[in-house]
Amino acid sequence: MRWYNGHFVLLAILNYVIKITMRVCSIIGYKGESLAAPLLVTCLQKMEYRGYDSVGIATIADGKVSVKKGVGRVEDVNSSLLLGRLPGRIGIGHTRWATHGKVTEKNAHPHTSCNGEIAVVHNGIIQNYSELKSGLLMKGHIFKSETDSEVIAHLLEEDYVHTGDLRVAMRNTSKKLAGAFSFIAAFSDGTIAGARYDEPLILGISNDGYYISSDVVGFLNYTDRAIFLDNRDIVILQGSEMEMINFDGAPVLRPTTQVAWEFGGIDKGTYAHFTIKEINEQVETITKSGRGQEKSIKQVSEVLKSAPFVYFTGSGTSYHCALVAKNLLTKYGKRKSDAIMSSEFQYLVNDIEPDSVIVAISQSGETADVLEVVKKAKPLGTKIISIVNVPTSSLARLSDVSVHMNCGAEIGVAATKSFTSQLTLLYAIIDEMSGGLIGLEEQRYKLQNAVRELIEGQSMIEHIVDEIKDVKDIYVLGRSIHYPIALEGALKIKELSYVHAEGIPAGELKHGPLALIDRNSCILVLNPNDSTFEDVNANAHEIKARGASLIGVGNSPSDVYDQFITIPEVDEILYPLLEVIPFQLIAYYLALVKNANPDYPRNLAKSVTVK
């Protein structure tokens, strides 16, 4: 990517995209003139949106490594253990999302070596940890946790004790690890070192020292100068010097990037939660999406015009965008295409048509399954187009062309404004490709007013939620381009409220799902005035005959529905941009009545950086 070497980059928060088997941790290191512990606590709080279950920090002072860690949120653990009072001007911190080992204090990071002179924090999964751990146990190492991450501390100790060379220890340990990882190690002599492979690691350079982090937002309160490490890079902060080498020991040089941040997007302001703030922000973000990206949009449209076959791919919410994009490309671009979820696509990449184009969609640009597809496809000569919210992300840098969503910070784990921004960007690309057949630009102002009207009708949504708050199963029906919105609507409900919800293609109702429908069912039906209207209306009557509760979403209220959410009139092809918003609001208010935190759903993380 040509723009990566530029000096001014508008950076938006990693998303989340994006809810499959997951683990996403935040790691941070500091070495400088300030007290490390309070800085590390603040940095970890800035990265809370990523999702986690435990927290800990380690600092170095007078040749001693001190560690405190516990289960819970940063604020609570800091309050009980006084993390911020640890001594020293050097330290590392971590928030963990559990995979290997239960959510316990002993499994929280940092992990230490047997001699207690090395502490490690880690993001990713070490696939060969069992083999490595067995070898270390045979050499007399004693493990205190059930995690895969702890092997890194013991490997470093083993290599450092035997070679006496910290650089060699970092290189040897990094090369022994299989899987995707980034880690930071703090040594009792005051050295901090970090390494990465397929997980992000960023160096921040401030006037009073250095930061190393998995996420640039972790240190942006203190510096806007960053170095984005590449795969197989190692950074070593020893004394007052900073050195970068690769796993083979050769010196490397990476450019310093000045990152600008939309700080205003991080504050909840007068809103109770980030999620409702971000739902409301769609009044602006739908109109902003793609603005300033006209050159990239035109470039992408030209690539798609000449492509013999186009694959859209993404995970979770981004996959639903891919399904809409496939519909649009068929209708307006007259191109053969498919939409495949990334977790499945990685097994098919070697068999795709020659000279194909992959459009990879990921809010964070760090989604592991999406990156896996791209890394397998690139050596085959496949062109990669990405749609991301983070222009410095791994996916953006791997792409031939990357288009920035420009929706700003999204803190809530469940994607809201990022979904509609992705979707708007895909509309813009296919509109450009088709010579303006969609007419998106002419309708942006009308769209904005329609979104505002929907959001101003939140009191009606609250009333509907009060009616369905005790429902155990919710089904969302849609046909054609509305089916992906049914999937997205159901995803939002299950993510935020923990109520079982399922998106169903309305035309398949008689082929199985109708067996589930009875008087205890709640059905939401997408039924706007377009070519699907009559068929979906017939489905609604079939459901009503079974006694189920029916909520319609569309333009034409009908007696068949017990409740009806009216969507403002726009060109029918643009309805997906509007009809998803009531589902976001239903999910939010349903979470509230069930006393669930809509910003941080249980078991989910914002950025899914491992498979």
We report the CATH number of the domain holding residue 217 as 3.60.20.10
Same domain, 445 and 461: no
Max CA pair span of the chain: 80
Helix axes 294-305, 417-433, angle to 10 degrees: 60
Residue 3 lies in a domain: no
Distance between CA atoms of 218 and 97, rounded to whole angstroms?
17
Residue 5 lies in a domain: no
Tokens found for residue 499: 């109520």
Is 106 an active-site residue? no
Same domain, 274 and 214: no
Same domain, 185 and 308: no
Answer with the one of 263, 293, 325 that is the final residue of a domain.
263
Same domain, 127 and 242: yes
Same domain, 174 and 53: yes
Residue 7 lies in a domain: no
Same domain, 442 and 539: no
pLDDT for the residue numbered 12: 33
Taking phi first (over 0 means left), then psi (-120 to 50 degrees means alpha), and beta for anything else, what does residue 29 get? Answer: beta
Given 25, 114, 321, 522, the catalytic residue: 25
Answer with the one of 455, 475, 501 that is the final residue of a domain.
455
Distance between CA atoms of 11 and 65, rounded to whole angstroms?
34
| Residue with token string 């949504």 | 461
Taking phi first (over 0 means left), then psi (-120 to 50 degrees means alpha), and beta for anything else, what does residue 330 get? Answer: alpha
Q: How many CA atoms lie within 13 A of 579 on its CB side?
A: 33
pLDDT at residue 20 above 60? no
Answer with the one of 263, 298, 314 that is the final residue of a domain.
263
| Helices and strands of the chain, counted as H and E runs | 18, 25
pLDDT at residue 214 above 80? yes
Same domain, 358 and 481: no
Is 522 an active-site residue? no
pLDDT at residue 212 above 50? yes
> Residue 581 belongs to a domain with what CATH number?
3.40.50.10490
Given 19, 383, 606, 611, the catalytic residue: 606
Burial (CB count within 10 angstroms: exposed 0-12, middle 13-18, buried 19+), residue 381: exposed
Residue 1 lies in a domain: no
Q: Which residue did the predictor score with more confidence, 198 or 494?
A: 494
Task: Evaluate whether 372 touches 385 at the Cβ level (below 8 Å).
Answer: no
Residue 319 lies in a domain: yes
The boundaries of the domain holding residue 126 are 24-263
Helix axes 575-593, 440-455, angle to 10 degrees: 20
Residue 257 lies in a domain: yes
Kind plus residue range of the DSSP H or E element containing 59: strand 54-61
Residue 535 main-chain phi, psi, to 5 deg? -65, -40
Same domain, 478 and 338: no
pLDDT at residue 122 above 60? yes
Same domain, 274 and 284: yes
Distance between CA atoms of 30 and 41, rounded to whole angstroms?
11
Residue 17 lies in a domain: no
Give me the mean pLDDT over the 359-372 stretch. Answer: 91
Per-residue pLDDT tens over the stretch 272-322? 898 999 999 999 999 889 888 999 999 999 999 999 999 999 999 999 999
Same domain, 290 and 417: yes
Per-residue pLDDT tens over the stretch 548-606? 889 999 998 999 999 999 999 999 999 999 999 999 999 999 999 999 989 888 766 55
Distance between CA atoms of 430 and 332, rounded to whole angstroms?
7
Distance between CA atoms of 256 and 236, rounded to whole angstroms?
16
Task: Indicate the number of domains in the chain.
Answer: 3
Same domain, 401 and 320: yes
Same domain, 384 and 414: yes
Residue 545 lies in a domain: yes
Please give the mean pLDDT across all residues of the chain: 89
pLDDT for the residue numbered 18: 29
Distance between CA atoms of 490 and 504, rounded to whole angstroms?
9
Whole-angstrom distance between the N-terminal and C-terminal Cα of the chain? 25
pLDDT at residue 103 above 90? no
Residue 51 pLDDT grade (very low, low, confident, very high; cuts 50, 70, 90): low
Distance between CA atoms of 295 and 280, rounded to whole angstroms?
29
Distance between CA atoms of 132 and 399, rounded to whole angstroms?
34
Distance between CA atoms of 577 and 393, rounded to whole angstroms?
26
Taking phi first (over 0 means left), then psi (-120 to 50 degrees means alpha), and beta for anything else, what does residue 450 get? Answer: alpha
pLDDT more than 70, % of the chain: 93
| Residue with token string 């309708």 | 443
pLDDT at residue 17 above 50? no
